[in-house]
Structure 1
Amino acid sequence: MPRLPFRRYFLAAACCLCAAAGPVAWAAAPQPVVLYGDDDYPPYSYVENGQLKGIYTDIVREAVQAMPQYRVQLRPVPWKRGVLMLQTGDAFGLYPPYSWRSERPYVRYSVPLLMEQLVVFCNQDVVAKRALRQWPADYAGLHIGVNAGFLLGDAGLTAALRSGQIVLDAAKGTRTNLLKLMRGRIDCYVSDRLSAQWELQRIRRAGQAGTPMQAIHETAQLAGQQGHLGFTQRQPGAYPYRDDFIDQFNAAIARMQDSGAIRRIVERALQP
């Protein structure tokens, strides 16, 4: 049998290997991406039994399933640390920040995921002692609880609160703040209404034997805020896929809104 010249033999063998491998050899592997979620903001994003759960978590998880070019892992993080990671560029994405562009110029925001209603809760002692009709004028001198890393508004509002001698008292998570409020360690607490109501039900079901608890009341309704998936603007070289990811994610969220998928996620989360 005549031998093929070496060059022709090498090319023929290479062609056979390529044909055998087929399209799999040339298919690009999905790009690994890590997104972080607040670990203590129920029912929106929280950890339970070691699992990251919540309304925002389910929205993000369903959206990225429609993005096969990316292999996305969701990880919990304390909120304040997550915001710092966005600021340094150590995190690609974090949910669910509100869109405070002047206070966080290092964040690029997705389309809105969900609307939250911010309200003020105060304990019975405070409600009995003063009329709380106007925010923030009627709250001068009070200790107001907020979640660590949470922004009440722009720099102007924060300055106005402090000039009105309102003391902002930050603590980690809704449950911690509600317990402080019910035990009289803070006077009022600013929170998303649904998050506070959800956590309050859990506190009451669990009971706190031997611990006196005050009733709390909603005293003011503030502006609604929309949660987003926030992306770092820092270290662009580390995330060359950022623009494409954001475009695809925004398109996926738009489809979920049109199909009613987001509404169904919220309804499932609120079922008793």
Structure 2
Amino acid sequence: MESSWQIIQWNGPKRIVFLLFAFFFTIQVVAKPSYRVVILVDDSYPPYSYLKDGELVGLYVDVVRQAADLISEKYIIELQPVPWKRGVDALRRGEDFALLPPYKNVQGRSFIWPYSEPLHEEVIQAFCNPNSSLLKIENIEYPLKPINVGINAGYLLFDQALNTAMEQNKIKIWENKDTLSNILKLAKNRIDCYINDKWAILSGIKALKKSHPFVDLSQLQQDRIIFKRTAHIGYLKAPSEKFPFKDDFIKEMDAALKLVFERRTQIDSDDK
């Protein structure tokens, strides 16, 4: 009974220390992130997202990491590098929550919805060898042999004219692992043209000049602009008990992305 009375009457410095400990412990519990969220990221799409010395880097990676820091009290976000095609297939099977950085393709990828705030507008363009061109593919009569066009595995970036040309056997598609392997095959005349984001191709050419100094890349020419598209984080459309945080996460991430770009715009304005 005496010990109980001592607890009830406990005051002075010891009581203050105890209350402070309880207060800070409560803050830590409340501030603990609610969920761990994995976003699959294309591991071979320089300069936007790629592996460098085993580390995931790139322009989109930087932006999303900055946004992730802003919502870190609620969400622990892991960016997981994967081959692009494997990432798309993972969402198609409903296994994963999000993928970076798809374009909006509601008809072609009905399993992805919604999309985040746009990260950047990409220019999809063909680069070709001197004796090949897709500029006037609509007006070309049926050739003796089709134009060999390289694409990254999982990236079929065609407009209607190119889709028609493919159906008419005017062009033949070759899927290759990544940007660097496509540029290398283009330089060695194993394909006639390569289609991807303009800056991804130019970045790849720059990298290959360093890694393959004896490969002639000077003959590669910028050719047909296919279209312009914005890149996003794409989310699994189907409702899933695995991802009960979906709606709130998308709202928080969009707000964080907007803030990141507002801050960047302000910095650019201040530098002028």
The TM-score bracket by the shorter chain reads 0.7 to 0.9
Match of 2:233 in 1: 229
Question: Does 2:161 match 1:160?
Answer: no
Q: Which amino acid aligns with 2:45?
A: Y
Structure 2 gaps of 5+ residues are 9-16
Q: How big is each residue's C-alpha offset from its partner over 1:243-267, in whole Å with a ceiling of 9 and x where there is no partner? A: 1111111111112222226997xxx
1:21 shift after superposition: 3.0
Match of 1:33 in 2: 37
- How many residues are matched? 250
SS at match of 2:124: strand
SS at match of 1:34: strand
1:223 shift after superposition: 1.1
Alignment of structure 1 residues 154-193 onto 2, 5 Å: 159-165=163-169, 166-193=171-198
Q: Counterparts of 2:233 and 2:219 in 1: how far apart (Å)?
A: 35
Question: Does 2:261 match 1:257?
Answer: yes
- 1:25–1:185: structure 2 CA closer, same or farther, 3 Å change rule? closer
Alignment of structure 1 residues 60-209 onto 2, 5 Å: 60-68=64-72, 69-108=74-113, 109-126=115-132, 132-138=134-140, 141-153=146-158, 159-165=163-169, 166-209=171-214
1:173 shift after superposition: 0.8
- 1:254–1:124: structure 2 CA closer, same or farther, 3 Å change rule? same
- 1:32–1:226: structure 2 CA closer, same or farther, 3 Å change rule? same
Q: How big is each residue's C-alpha offset from its partner over 1:175-215, in whole Å with a ceiling of 9 and x where there is no partner? A: 01001111111110111110100110111122354x56671
Structure 1 gaps of 5+ residues are 10-15, 265-272
SS at match of 1:168: strand
Tell me how large the CA RMSD over aligned residues is. Answer: 2.8
Contact 1:34 1:74 in 2 (8 A): yes
TM-score between the two structures when normalised by the length of structure 2:
0.82
SS at match of 2:109: coil
Of all paired residues, the percent bearing the same amino acid is 31
Match of 2:11 in 1: none
SS at match of 2:99: strand
SS at match of 1:89: coil
- 1:235–1:157: structure 2 CA closer, same or farther, 3 Å change rule? farther
1:126 shift after superposition: 2.5
Q: Counterparts of 1:49 and 1:92 in 2: how far apart (Å)?
A: 27
Match of 2:12 in 1: none
- 1:138–1:197: structure 2 CA closer, same or farther, 3 Å change rule? farther
